[in-house]
Amino acid sequence: MKDKGLLIVLSGPSGVGKGTVRKAIFSEEDTNFEYSISMTTRLPREGEVNGVDYFFKSREEFESLIQQEKLLEYAEYVGNYYGTPVDYVRETLDSGKDVFLEIEVQGAQQVRKKFPDGLFIFLAPPSLSELENRIVTRGTESEDLIRNRMDEARKELEMMNLYDYVVENDKIELAVERIKAIVVAEHCRRERVQGRYIKMLEAGK
Amino acid sequence: MKDKGLLIVLSGPSGVGKGTVRKAIFSEEDTNFEYSISMTTRLPREGEVNGVDYFFKSREEFESLIQQEKLLEYAEYVGNYYGTPVDYVRETLDSGKDVFLEIEVQGAQQVRKKFPDGLFIFLAPPSLSELENRIVTRGTESEDLIRNRMDEARKELEMMNLYDYVVENDKIELAVERIKAIVVAEHCRRERVQGRYIKMLEAGK
């Protein structure tokens, strides 16, 4: 009668600090979801361990996995592939555990199509809310600078459309706390809890 | 540019421990929502303070408030009225603060009609999930007892329909933690955050 786990997807604009937040989440002892390790064709950097930081693969291996549809999402950056192996994700979710992905926005779009019920969290740069102060206290910065920032903000707002939640990365500890709260809350959603009880009553008949 | 506060409604079957959980929430220092004190026509019990535990009113005063539509919800129990003064709730929400109500299920139904966007949390008795073990390990209890409990569970499942979240009151600390997580998560919902940013950009034009 065990429920399937939740697929938690953390994404956001590049440079927002997704990796740092993800590492902070998994450095805490009470984190009870599983991190899905990405696969890449880039060479390991010093200190990086295969199966811990990434699964390191050759280009041929990676392309063969793409053709076998063994990747939940993938993308090419600066000549290297990055992707999420799908089997691990499906097996872990089936076992009732939550799976956590930290991926780029393009990847998140691919995952949304395959897992519409996933929990999609957008990590937003603090510049977005700092913009508010800048707008209010105009004069300290040039109109051009403010206008550029507003254009950027508009693009980020557009990106958010795919997501269920937006977490501002103002302070890492706060971002971590919010992400963990979102996961706890999501497990308490009525449809989810009620569904479990209904299955339980069916089983008891 | 301040957002309206969230209306948080904690309810559930009588005897589930709503009052205990509410007191535990407000005994914590980092709780940043306001408790809406109920109004009642029953006499103060020893140690109860007017304006702290309840607003104590005469029957005439209470009925006059009902007629003036000054109550967000009310009900009569064992010959006494209990209700929520609406002005405090509206003013506090308008000031951007979250308001917390702890009320009976009938009251929650009335509030849902007036505040469809409220955050409705159902506090569920642990007996519901304990039932699962009982069903699985049949034999230790009579079939009649199990069947009665299942009937009760069905009623509780029906009650839940109105709510957004279900929190099991297995341990007070856990229930408190879940409720606080739900409030944090709700503030991160994309529509809410995006709406705030959009207003901000509008203001910056």
pLDDT digits (tens, 9 = 90+) for B83-103: 999 999 999 999 999 999 999
Strand partners, A81: A76
Structure tokens at A197: 């009880």
> For A199, which residue in chain B has the nearest alpha carbon?
B132
- Which of these ranges, A120-124, A146-150, B108-112, has the smallest mean pLDDT? A146-150
Q: How far is CA B109 from CA A88, A114, B105, B182, in A?
A: 43, 37, 6, 20
Read off the pLDDT of residues B192-204 as tens digits, 9 standing for 90 and up.
988 888 887 777 6
pLDDT for res B199: 80
Q: Is B174 on the interface with A (CB under 8 A)?
A: no
Q: Is the pLDDT of residue A163 over 60?
A: yes
Please indicate whether, in this complex, the C-beta atoms of A188 and B178 are within 8 angstroms of each other. yes
Residue A179 near residue A167 (C-beta atoms within 8 A): yes
Structure tokens at A38: 């990405």
Under 8 Å CB pairs connecting chains A and B tally to 116
Mapped onto helix, strand or coil, the DSSP state of residue A168 is strand
Read off the pLDDT of residues B44-87 as tens digits, 9 standing for 90 and up.
999 999 998 899 999 999 999 999 999 999 999 889 999 999 99
Q: Is the pLDDT of residue B16 over 60?
A: yes
As a whole number of angstroms, the distance between CA A42 and CA A38 comes to 11
Mapped onto helix, strand or coil, the DSSP state of residue B119 is strand
Where do runs of H (alpha helix) occur along A68-114?
Answer: 86-94, 105-114
Q: Do the annotations mark residue B49 as ligand-binding?
A: no
Residue in the block written with tokens 């890492």: A172
Q: Is the pLDDT of residue B21 over 80?
A: yes
As a whole number of angstroms, the distance between CA B98 and CA B115 comes to 13
pLDDT for res A147: 78
Burial A43-66 (b: 16+ CB within 10 A, else e): eeeeeeeeeeebbbbeeeebeebe
> For B200, which residue in chain A has the nearest alpha carbon?
A132
Q: Is the pLDDT of residue A79 over 70?
A: yes
Q: Is the pLDDT of residue A65 over 90?
A: yes
Facing residue for B135 by CB, picked from A150, A185, A203 = A203
Please indicate whether, in this complex, the C-beta atoms of B163 and A203 are within 8 angstroms of each other. no
Contact map slice: A 15-34 vs B, CB within 8 A: none
pLDDT for res A154: 84
Please indicate whether, in this complex, the C-beta atoms of B204 and A135 are within 8 angstroms of each other. yes
Q: Is the pLDDT of residue B165 over 60?
A: yes
As a whole number of angstroms, the distance between CA B57 and CA B82 comes to 10
Q: To 10 degrees, what angle do helices A172-187 and B172-187 make?
A: 110
Pick B178 or B200 by higher pLDDT.
Answer: B178
Please indicate whether, in this complex, the C-beta atoms of A128 and B197 are within 8 angstroms of each other. yes
Mean of all residue pLDDT scores within chain B: 89
Q: Which residues contact B17 (CB under 8 A, 6 or more apart)?
A: B123, B169, B172, B175
Percent of chain B with pLDDT over 70: 91
Q: Which listed CATH number (3.40.50.300, 3.30.390.50, 3.40.50.720, 3.40.50.150) goes with A7-36+98-204? A: 3.40.50.300
As a whole number of angstroms, the distance between CA A180 and CA A16 comes to 18
- For β-strands A39-40 and A80-85, DSSP reports them as antiparallel
Nearest to B94 by CA among B4, B6, B1: B4
**Binding site for ATP: residue ranges of A?**
12-19
User: What is the dihedral sign for C-alpha B123, B125, B128, B130?
Assistant: positive
pLDDT for res B134: 63
Name the helix (H) or strand (E) containing A130.
helix A127-136
Nearest to B102 by CA among B19, B5, B180: B19
For chain A, what are the domain ranges? 7-36+98-204
Please indicate whether, in this complex, the C-beta atoms of A201 and B165 are within 8 angstroms of each other. no
pLDDT for res B204: 67
